[in-house]
Amino acid sequence: MKKLFNKMNDTANVVAIKAVMLKERSKEVLSNNRGEGTVSQAITILISVVLGALLLAGLYLLFDEVVLPTLTERIQEMFDYQG
């Protein structure tokens, strides 16, 4: 029975030490105000916006020149059916 209590006490001590270490590490990370990573995030957002705009422009040109005239032609053929 004494071994069980000792093991439980050791486990509780390990958990308490890990909790204190986590608290200290969290405090250090949250108090850090160096701005590290802000520039890389801004560049990533800028690149994604530019790529999105290019993709949208490409789709617009594709639909405007290829899909819509073909679609209009097919709809007119469908309704001009002489049977």
Q: What digits encode the pLDDT tens for the residues 1-23? A: 888 888 899 999 999 999 999 99
Indicate the residue type of 47: I
Closest CA relative to residue 55, chosen from 43, 67, 63: 63
C-alpha to C-alpha distances, 60 to 17, 36, 81, nearest whole angstrom:
59, 38, 30
Q: Name the residue ranges covered by the structural domains of the chain.
A: 1-33, 34-83
* Residue 33 phi, psi dihedral angles, 5° rounding: -125, 35
Digit-coded pLDDT (tens) for 34-73: 766 778 889 999 999 999 999 999 998 888 887 788 888 8
Which pLDDT band, with edges at 50, 70 and 90, does 83 fall under?
low
